[in-house]
């Protein structure tokens, strides 16, 4: 990172374009880049392919459906089988107005890792003999069948960390890591929302969760408290 510290989340998103593919870190309420999501809503960019663990479940991502900014979403958890209030995403999906690719969570993590680590794909037993297998290559290695799962990359990754130093080293807190570190490796432009920006050296190198090399932009924001009401 070259000192790309932005004053507002809106400024940090200045070049997000129509049809962009965007990864969003976070797991339900933990480590979710809520200020960046709200800035994307204000910006109104549409045709987005979103990639996140969940949508409409204790995150703010569902605001992007108020003006139909999403064309497609890749997630592990988006549609509930049980009762409860449906998210806007769920309503749009049921009307065929947004596309959904549902991915097992471990496969989701490993596809992003492959995308960020320069690997050509992932072999996993997860999903064999299920709907997830449809249209995918099965490879037999050492007498075991595996599904070939392809890497995921994005134009942008919006991530959330607790602190950043001015070089872009990030420190996470509690269960706020989840998909943030791996998504930071897999996008062309990585924008981190943090609660505090400190001088280099103020974060103990042992505590750096994402090294600065992966981070392009940082913006300090007050956290948005989000709670999943089920």
Which residues contribute to the site for another protein (CB under 8 A)?
Answer: 27-32, 53, 57-58, 75-82, 90, 94, 102-110, 113, 124-132, 172-182, 209, 223, 225-228, 230
- Min dist CB 216 to another protein, Å, is 19
Q: Which is nearer to another protein, 109 or 218 (CB)?
A: 109
- Min dist CB 128 to another protein, Å, is 7
- Min dist CB 62 to another protein, Å, is 14
Q: Which is nearer to another protein, 3 or 225 (CB)?
A: 225
Residue 164 burial (C-beta neighbours within 10 Å; 0-12, 13-18, 19+): buried
Element containing residue 39 per DSSP (H, E): helix 34-43
CA-CA distances (angstroms) from residue 117 to 53, 196, 214? 19, 28, 12
- Min dist CB 212 to another protein, Å, is 17
CA-CA distances (angstroms) from residue 182 to 45, 81, 113, 117, 154? 25, 28, 6, 9, 12
Q: Which is nearer to another protein, 75 or 190 (CB)?
A: 75
| C-alpha to C-alpha distance for 100 and 73, rounded to whole angstroms | 5
Q: Which is nearer to another protein, 42 or 173 (CB)?
A: 173
| C-alpha to C-alpha distance for 107 and 116, rounded to whole angstroms | 14
Q: Whose structure tokens read 């974060």?
A: 203
Q: Whose structure tokens read 């962009």?
A: 20
Q: Which is nearer to another protein, 16 or 24 (CB)?
A: 24
């Amino acid at each position: 990172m070259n000192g790309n510290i932005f004053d507002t989340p809106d400024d940090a998103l200045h070049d997000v374009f129509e049809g962009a593919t965007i990864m969003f870190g976070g797991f339900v309420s933990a480590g979710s880049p809520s200020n960046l999501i709200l800035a994307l809503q204000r910006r109104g960019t549409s045709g987005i392919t979103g990639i996140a663990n969940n949508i409409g479940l204790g995150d703010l991502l569902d605001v992007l459906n108020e003006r139909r900014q999403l064309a497609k979403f890749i997630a592990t958890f988006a549609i509930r089988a049980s009762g409860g209030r449906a998210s806007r995403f769920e309503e749009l999906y049921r009307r065929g107005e947004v596309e959904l690719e549902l991915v097992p969570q471990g496969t989701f993590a490993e596809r992003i890792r492959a995308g960020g680590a320069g690997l050509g794909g992932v072999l996993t037993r997860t999903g064999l003999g299920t709907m997830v297998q449809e249209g995918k290559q099965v490879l037999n290695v050492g007498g075991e069948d595996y599904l070939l799962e392809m890497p995921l990359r994005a134009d942008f990754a919006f991530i959330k960390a607790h602190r950043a130093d001015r070089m872009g080293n990030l420190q996470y807190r509690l269960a706020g890591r989840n998909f943030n570190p791996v998504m930071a490796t897999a996008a062309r432009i990585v924008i981190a929302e943090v609660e505090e920006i400190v001088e280099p050296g103020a974060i103990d190198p042992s505590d750096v969760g994402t090294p600065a090399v992966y981070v392009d932009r940082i913006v300090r924001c007050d956290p948005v408290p989000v709670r999943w009401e089920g």
